[in-house]
Amino acid sequence: MPIPRNLDRLPRLSVRDKVLVQLQQWIIDGTLQPEEKLNDVELADALQVSRTPIREALQILELQGFVELIPGKATRVTPIDSHDVFKIYPPLALLEALNAQDATSRIRPDIIEELKHVNRGLRQALDQRNSWQALEWDRQFHALIAEAADNPYVTSFTTLLHMHASRLKYRFFQHLVLPAYTSVDEHTLIIQALEDKNAEMASAIMKKNWLRPMEELAKSLVTT
């Protein structure tokens, strides 16, 4: 897909990090397609930076598994392998379940109310068939629970997994919006479990919330 040109010039401070975040987002949302070749000159021009932060960001993206750097040849976005869902979702489900369990004893009433608000937003986005907004509401839901759990070690492990899961979920929500209503119902049950201080129930439903769409997501990627 064409790289957007109507971008504000990036600040001088932490240029590499700004570039990294932007490239991550483009890869996740499909602006940069799987197996698309990347030209550092073109990217530098689009982001109005020098080639150095572009190259540094690409090296980090390679370590994160988002791009492939082949010396003397083109750099390209890594392909999406449908089997990756079975590598990403199970460990993420376990870590998210742990967050839900830990959050049960720590979550505040205002966070509970925010979770309800976010879940209503998710339902509304699905009603409007707004795939991208639905994904953002879903991200916020899980981020709130992670915040309540307050375990930076779990967060450090889940950050990269979430980015790869988001790349898959963009494809998932784009083609399979309606089945995602099940997530709204599961979120409601998670909220209730948190209110009831039922750590076992919150953990179990959270795990299901991540594992349930795995097969549908794999099928979606195979057929697209």
Mark whether 92 and 132 lie in a shared domain.
Answer: yes
> Taking every pair of C-alpha atoms in the chain, what is the biggest distance, in angstroms?
59
Closest CA to 125 of 33, 82, 187, 189: 187
What pLDDT, in 10s, does the model give residues 76-113?
A: 999 988 788 899 999 999 999 999 999 999 999 999 99
The verdict on 98 and 67 lying in the same domain is: no
- What is the C-alpha separation between 61 and 46, in angstroms, rounded? 18
Of all helices (H) and strands (E), which one includes residue 68? strand 67-68
CATH number at residue 187: 1.20.120.530
- For residue 5, being part of any structural domain is answered with no
CA distances from 163 to 28, 45, 75, 169, 177 (A): 7, 25, 20, 10, 20
**42 and 62 part of one domain:** yes
3-class DSSP state for residue 35?
coil
Q: CB 94: neighbour CB atoms within 10 A?
A: 16
Residue 4 belongs to some domain of the structure:
no
pLDDT in tens, 23-81: 999 999 899 999 999 999 999 999 999 999 999 999 999 999 999 988 778 899 999 88
What is the band of 2 on the pLDDT scale with cuts at 50, 70, 90? Answer: low
Q: Are 186 and 93 in contact (CB under 8 A)?
A: no
Q: Which domain holds residue 34?
A: 15-77
Same domain, 49 and 99: no
**The predicted structure's pLDDT at residue 13:** 53
Average pLDDT score over residue span 134-144 = 91
- How sure is the predictor about 8, in pLDDT bands with cuts at 50, 70 and 90? low
pLDDT of residue 115: 98
In a domain, 1, yes or no: no
- Tell me which of 39, 59, 77 is where a domain ends: 77
Task: Identify the residue with better confidence: 88 or 178.
Answer: 88
Sheet holding 67-68, edge to edge: 37-38, 75-77, 67-68
- Work out the pLDDT band at 142, boundaries 50, 70, 90: very high
Which pLDDT band, with edges at 50, 70 and 90, does 222 fall under? low
Q: Give the pair of three-digit tokens for residue 115.
A: 């979770």
Q: Is 9 inside any structural domain?
A: no
Residues 48 and 97 reside in one and the same domain:
no
Confidence band, pLDDT 50/70/90 cuts, at residue 224? low
CB 195 within 8 A of CB 108: no
Tally of CB atoms within 10 A around 145? 23
Supply the pTM of this predicted model. Answer: 0.78
Residues 158 and 196 in one domain: yes
106, 50: one domain: no
**pLDDT at residue 7 above 80?**
no
Our count of domains for the chain comes to: 2
Residues 72 and 173 in one domain: no
Instruction: Give residue 1's pLDDT.
Output: 58
Could you tell me the CATH number of the domain that includes residue 56?
1.10.10.10
* pLDDT value at 150 more than 60: yes
For residue 2, tell me if it sits in a domain. Answer: no
Structure confidence at residue 216 (pLDDT): 75
Q: Which residues pair with 76 in a beta bridge?
A: 37, 68
